[in-house]
């Protein structure tokens, strides 16, 4: 929603669905660039504030972007003869906890919205924002309007939640790395969760978790397709994130290759091998609110073992600091070493559940490319490796090919 012209096109698209007999609730995000602009103003005035009082004001400020675009969309609909009403989060109400700038939705009241829908109105609800128990305006974190939309769809038991965005669906991998990447017509919710948690920036991950919890069918589709394309065609476009695995039965074993450049590796060497060490090391890290991803502990030699794990690159320095000052002295480990020039590459697919040898095919491909694997982790539907980041693109391309994901060239 970058301009009034684009808002007017959104209105025409919504009108098309409405006139075809669908009850519509629309959850706009801010006009493009607006949230950044607003937060930038705050930063100019207060480059270093961190307090709760400040974060409260950030939410008060950032939430106005969605309030403006919601009202404008309602106006654009009214201008083409569609009865429409917009609500801010607190008016619905979308109730959240009080974690300013990263609040979580706790409940959504549906009476007002349902009554408007039953009177034939299109209801517009601001994305990204809610209200806490004290009446403060909260926001849900960057990209949070995806989560608002899914939560509203869940509360209203909508048939489908359509997320119009700047890409036309979910791809087998990032097309900027592999130009042959193809759009998936469907992807299972579990696969999407794996892909979203690893760099696929298509949807805010929390929106996918929400969709899973409440079984909301989600479709990701392009906001750039002309508003007047055939409704049936639009309804089938993009990528459906589905809960029905049967549809996938005939499809590829591996659905996508995900990657994440932000992984940093840390190893604690020469740790005495006795009960409680994992807790001593990772407990201290968790206490600092640092998320740990992959974890490996080797078998011990002479009563000592090595313990490695990965964290987000931004947390690397802080994690090393904690280990060196708080953990190593008590633990009697010999050394902490780390590497930020690493990345994680994963193959994802629910088909892996019923097929053996998929992981070894991955390792074979990487060995043929001469890529050294530093860490491995697996789940039922995913195998991930940590490798040197300079081989990331090579690895992704080779795996994309190995698992037959390259688009058939016409
Ligand atoms: N406007 C908010 C943001 O930029 C929410 C969103 O667009 O999803 O993060
Ligand atoms: Mg967004």
Query: How far apart are the CA of 396 and the centre of ligand 1, in A?
Result: 29
Atom of ligand 1 at shortest distance to CA of 29? Answer: 7
Q: Among 39, 137, 142, which residue has the most ligand 1 atoms within 8 Å of its CB, making it the best to mutate?
A: 142
Q: Which-ligand-closest: CA of 147? A: 1
Query: How far apart are the CA of 260 and the centre of ligand 2, in A?
Result: 20
Give the Cα separation of 169 and 66 in Å (integer): 24
Q: Among 1, 26, 29, which residue has the most ligand 1 atoms within 8 Å of its CB, making it the best to mutate?
A: 29
Query: How far apart are the CA of 161 and the centre of ligand 2, in A?
Result: 14
Residue nearest atom 5 in ligand 1 by C-alpha distance: 143
Q: What is the pLDDT of residue 409?
A: 52
**pLDDT tens over the chain, length 410 residues:** 889 999 999 999 999 999 999 999 999 999 999 999 999 999 999 999 999 999 999 999 999 999 999 999 999 999 999 999 999 999 999 999 999 999 999 999 999 999 999 999 999 999 999 999 999 999 999 999 999 999 999 999 999 999 999 889 999 999 889 999 999 999 999 999 888 766 557 888 889 999 999 999 999 999 999 999 999 999 999 999 988 765 555 567 899 999 998 899 999 998 888 888 899 999 999 999 899 999 998 888 888 889 999 999 999 999 999 999 988 888 877 789 999 999 999 999 998 888 889 999 999 999 999 999 999 999 899 999 999 999 999 999 999 999 999 876 54
Q: What is the pLDDT of residue 191?
A: 92
Q: Which-ligand-closest: CA of 149? A: 1
348: β partners: 256, 382
Atom of ligand 1 at shortest distance to CA of 128? Answer: 5
Q: What is the pLDDT of residue 410?
A: 46
Give the Cα separation of 151 and 129 in Å (integer): 12
Give the Cα separation of 181 and 170 in Å (integer): 10
Query: How far apart are the CA of 344 and the centre of ligand 2, in A?
Result: 25
Exposed, middle or buried: residue 341 (CB in 10 Å: 0-12, 13-18, 19+)? exposed
Overall size of the chain counted in residues = 410
Query: How far apart are the CA of 368 and the centre of ligand 2, in A?
Result: 39
Residue nearest atom 9 in ligand 1 by C-alpha distance: 142
Q: Which-ligand-closest: CA of 145? A: 1
Query: How far apart are the CA of 50 and the centre of ligand 1, in A?
Result: 21
Query: How far apart are the CA of 31 and the centre of ligand 1, in A?
Result: 9
Query: How far apart are the CA of 314 and the centre of ligand 2, in A?
Result: 23
Q: Among 32, 33, 35, which residue has the most ligand 1 atoms within 8 Å of its CB, making it the best to mutate?
A: 35
Give the Cα separation of 36 and 93 in Å (integer): 25
Residues 148 and 140 sit within 8 Å (Cβ to Cβ): yes
Look up residue 200 and give its DSSP letter: -
Closest CA to 126 of 101, 80, 93, 159: 93
Atom of ligand 1 at shortest distance to CA of 146? Answer: 8
Give the Cα separation of 134 and 97 in Å (integer): 10
Q: What is the pLDDT of residue 244?
A: 74
Q: Tell if the pTM clears 0.75, that is, is over it.
A: yes
For domain 4-246, give the CATH number. Answer: 3.40.1160.10
Atom of ligand 1 at shortest distance to CA of 148? Answer: 8
Q: Among 28, 127, 165, 166, which residue has the most ligand 1 atoms within 8 Å of its CB, making it the best to mutate?
A: 127
Residue 115's contacts (CB-CB under 8 Å, 6 or more residues apart) are none
Query: How far apart are the CA of 214 and the centre of ligand 2, in A?
Result: 21
Find the residues whose C-beta lies inside 6 A of ligand 1: 29-30, 35, 65, 127-128, 142-146
Q: Among 143, 147, 161, which residue has the most ligand 1 atoms within 8 Å of its CB, making it the best to mutate?
A: 143
Query: How far apart are the CA of 127 and the centre of ligand 1, in A?
Result: 8
Taking CA 118 as the corner, what is the angle to CA 113 and CA 120, rounded to the nearest 5 degrees?
A: 100
Q: Which-ligand-closest: CA of 167? A: 2
Residue nearest atom 8 in ligand 1 by C-alpha distance: 143
Residues 264 and 313 sit within 8 Å (Cβ to Cβ): yes
User: Per residue in 381-403, is it b (16+ CB within 10 Å) or e — as a string?
Assistant: bbbbbbbebebbbbbbbbbbebb
Atom of ligand 1 at shortest distance to CA of 30? Answer: 1
Closest CA to 161 of 22, 63, 34: 22
Give the Cα separation of 14 and 73 in Å (integer): 10
Residue nearest atom 6 in ligand 1 by C-alpha distance: 143
């Amino acid at each position: 929603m970058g301009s009034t012209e684009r808002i007017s096109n959104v209105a025409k698209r919504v009108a098309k669905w409405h006139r075809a007999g669908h009850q519509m609730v629309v959850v706009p995000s801010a006009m493009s660039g607006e949230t950044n602009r607003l937060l930038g103003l705050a930063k100019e005035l207060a480059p270093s504030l961190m307090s709760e009082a400040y974060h409260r004001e950030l939410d008060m400020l950032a939430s106005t972007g969605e309030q403006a675009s919601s009202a404008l969309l309602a106006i654009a609909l009214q201008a083409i003869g569609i009865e429409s009403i917009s609500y801010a989060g607190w008016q619905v109400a979308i109730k959240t906890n009080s974690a300013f700038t990263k609040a979580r939705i706790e409940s959504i009241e549906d009476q007002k919205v349902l009554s408007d829908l039953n009177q034939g109105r299109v209801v517009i609800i601001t994305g990204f924002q809610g209200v806490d128990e004290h009446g403060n305006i909260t926001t849900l974190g960057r990209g949070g309007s995806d989560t608002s939309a899914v939560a509203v769809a869940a509360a209203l038991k909508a048939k489908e939640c359509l997320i119009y965005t700047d890409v036309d669906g979910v791809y087998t991998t990032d097309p900027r790395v592999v130009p042959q990447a193809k759009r998936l017509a469907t992807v299972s919710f579990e696969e999407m969760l794996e892909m979203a948690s690893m760099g696929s920036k298509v949807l805010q991950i929390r929106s996918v978790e929400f969709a899973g919890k409440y079984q909301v069918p989600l479709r990701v589709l392009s906001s750039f397709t002309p508003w007047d394309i055939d409704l049936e065609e639009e309804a089938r476009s993009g990528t459906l994130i589905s809960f029905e695995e049967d549809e996938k039965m005939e499809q590829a074993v591996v659905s996508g290759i995900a990657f994440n450049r932000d992984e940093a590796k840390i190893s604690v060497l020469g740790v005495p091998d006795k009960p409680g060490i994992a807790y001593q090391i990772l407990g201290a890290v968790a206490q600092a609110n640092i998320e740990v991803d992959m974890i490996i502990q080797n078998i011990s030699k002479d009563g000592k073992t090595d313990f490695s794990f990965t964290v987000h690159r931004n947390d690397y320095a802080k994690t090393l600091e904690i280990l060196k000052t708080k953990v190593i002295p008590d633990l009697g480990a010999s050394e902490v070493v780390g590497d930020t020039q690493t990345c994680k590459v994963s193959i994802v697919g629910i088909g892996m559940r019923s097929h053996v040898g998929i992981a070894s095919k991955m390792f074979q491909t990487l060995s043929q490319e001469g890529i050294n694997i530093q860490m491995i982790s697996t789940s039922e539907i995913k195998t991930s490796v940590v490798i040197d980041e300079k081989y990331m693109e090579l690895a992704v391309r080779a795996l994309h090919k190995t698992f037959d994901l390259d688009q058939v060239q016409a």
